[in-house]
Structure 1
Amino acid sequence: MRVLFVASEAVPYCKTGGLADVTGALFKELKKMGINVLMVLPYYRQLIRSDNIVTTGLRIEVRQNSRSYLCSLYTSTDKDTLFIDIPELFDREGIYGDTRGDYPDNDTRFSIFSRATLMAVKSMGFQPDVIHMHDWHTALIPLYLKTIHREDAFFVNTATVLTIHNLGYQGLFPPGSLKNIGISPAFFTPEGIEFYGKVNFLKAGIVFSDVITTVSSRYAEEITTEEYGFGLDGVLRRRRDVLYGVINGIEYDRWSPEIDPYIHAHYHHRDL
């Protein structure tokens, strides 16, 4: 099985919070299981000095909203992680924003990254059986597969899985964002990606992904309620038949009390 694993952050390359810990650990476990998995990340400024990232020599061009974005492809030295370099979008001080707040063009940044991901793996011949997206930043991918790539034989047998790590972060943008992300106004409906007058990236993933997972069975139930659904409980209830809770695991080679560098004394369960 070939799995394309797409995220905005993952340890050890880039991190702002717990999302990076989970994606990095899950990626490692999939590899241990013998799955042919390729992770794709943006090539942030913070990665430029990393010694284990090298150029592939490949470039792709994404055209969107009357603009052209030239993307250079880099890879980890073990070839299991692909980095997409779009300097005008990702060569910045922060990952999602700076001291003034979120970058106002985050819609463009992550839509171009998502489109470039699909174009990059096609140019490399990595034909995924499953594309696994994480949170709102990559949640447009299933919509692009059903629009821009709807007649693309390369992805005809590709299934999509969206994991919701934190429903509170949805990627909300004004209606004008439709032009920025290259999506027809026909999808700006309550049944599509419209959310109280705004474009909702995460909702796009919820509506158009084949399968939706979240971080536990309990959370999967909670987010279908008005109390914890952050306004998306209705659409999640409509997709309940493909919504699953998969509890986060523990990365024992990082967090085991036998080796954890952040605790005063190491111990084993046999010591208790």
Structure 2
Amino acid sequence: MEGKRILYVTTEMTPYFPENPMSSQALDLPKVMQSNGADVRIFMPRFGAINERRHQLHEVIRLSGMNMIVNDLDQPLIIKVASVPGERLQVYFIDNEEYFKRKDVYDTDGVLCSDNDERAIFFAKGVLETVKKLNWKPDVVHVMGWMSSLVPTYLKEYYSDDPFFQDAKVVVSLFDNGFEGELDNQLVEKLAFDQVDGKIKQYLEKPTHLGMIQASLEYADAVAKGEEVIPQDVKEYIESKNILLLDFCEKEQSKEVYNTFYTEEVMNSN
């Protein structure tokens, strides 16, 4: 991937989150691909659980100030950035007082946050608008975590006529981080406000975890197992579709495995 640009969009990442398969891979994979000569950028939500002082986050004024419209309401976009200690990597954080200031990440005492659907919309739009503002055109957009699952949809529907993202390939990593229940049942209507109501509508009439994953896979050029065990319903869905799948590999193998995966399979996919 020498000279290629890879955009990583993740919900969790160490050291900003406790270590788990997703948060670890969200750090390890950009590191190994950067060592392979790729130009990488990493985006994640600035959840209130992240200690800004400890991790030395600071606002990027030149990137902040845009408003993202979510369900006909203007929501200010704040961009913060931090450097990963000991690495040549920067992480961009999507922030907003309404959606991400609270300490709760996905739920409160086991009950899903009622605005998780709008948080996912805001995050997807915020990432892609910021990348455009950076004038950094990605060759690959690699998505991790269900709250990032609307990124492929916005990339391929909302920006379908925008040449900036026209040639970008989409990879979705899957993890065993599902949720019980459903997101707001007005999600389809909220997406329709952005004219995002194409192929994914069938999956989001009842926005379960499986539905969100199905929506992300609708526009994926390839899928990667981020950990050995993924939810059974997701596994069965992938097996029923003709989707290019990279099996789980250990960290020690990832440099060679993912370099081959990106260069020989993802970049050449139709």
Unaligned runs of 5+ residues in structure 1 are: 252-272
Counterpart residue identity of residue 42, structure 2: M
Q: Deviation at 1:250?
A: 4.9
Partner of 1:257: none
**Partner-residue secondary structure (3-state), 1:84:** strand
Which residues in structure 2 correspond to 1:44-59 (within 5 Å)?
44-45=47-48, 46-57=50-61, 58-59=63-64
- 2-structure distance, mates of 1:161, 1:170: 25
- 2-structure distance, mates of 1:44, 1:115: 17
**Partner-residue secondary structure (3-state), 2:173:** strand
In our comparison, the structure showing a higher alpha carbon Rg is 1
Which residues in structure 2 correspond to 1:191-230 (within 5 Å)?
192-194=202-204, 197-198=206-207, 200-215=211-226, 229-230=232-233
Which residues in structure 2 correspond to 1:79-94 (within 5 Å)?
80-94=90-104
- 2-structure distance, mates of 1:231, 1:162: 12
Q: Deviation at 1:144?
A: 0.9
RMSD: 2.7
- 1-structure distance, mates of 2:161, 2:240: 27
Deviations 1:92-138 (A, max 9, x none): 12221232522111111122101110000100111100000013111
Cα pair distance change 1:104/1:145, threshold 3 Å? same
Which residues in structure 2 correspond to 1:224-263 (within 5 Å)?
229-230=232-233, 233=236, 235-250=237-252
Instruction: Indicate the structure with greater strand content.
Output: 1
- 2-structure distance, mates of 1:55, 1:242: 38
Counterpart residue identity of residue 224, structure 2: T
Cα pair distance change 1:136/1:108, threshold 3 Å? same
Partner of 1:127: 137
Cα pair distance change 1:171/1:193, threshold 3 Å? farther
Q: Deviation at 1:215?
A: 3.4
- 1-structure distance, mates of 2:8, 2:22: 13
Cα pair distance change 1:123/1:162, threshold 3 Å? same
- 2-structure distance, mates of 1:170, 1:29: 34
TM-score, scaled relative to structure 2: 0.78
Counterpart residue identity of residue 140, structure 2: V
Counterpart residue identity of residue 76, structure 2: L
Cα pair distance change 1:41/1:151, threshold 3 Å? same
- 2-structure distance, mates of 1:16, 1:111: 26
**Partner-residue secondary structure (3-state), 1:133:** strand
Q: Deviation at 1:44?
A: 2.0
Counterpart residue identity of residue 249, structure 1: K
Partner of 1:72: 78
Q: Deviation at 1:185?
A: 5.0
Partner of 2:35: 32
The size of the alignment, in residue pairs, is: 239
- 1-structure distance, mates of 2:127, 2:180: 20
Q: Deviation at 1:153?
A: 0.9
**Partner-residue secondary structure (3-state), 2:13:** coil
Q: Whose relative contact order is higher, 1 or 2, with alpha carbons under 8 Å and at least 6 apart?
A: 2
Deviates more, 1:32-41 or 1:50-59: 50-59
Work out which of the residue numbers 23, 28, 36 in structure 2 matches 1:20: 23
- 2-structure distance, mates of 1:122, 1:105: 26
Q: Percent identity?
A: 21
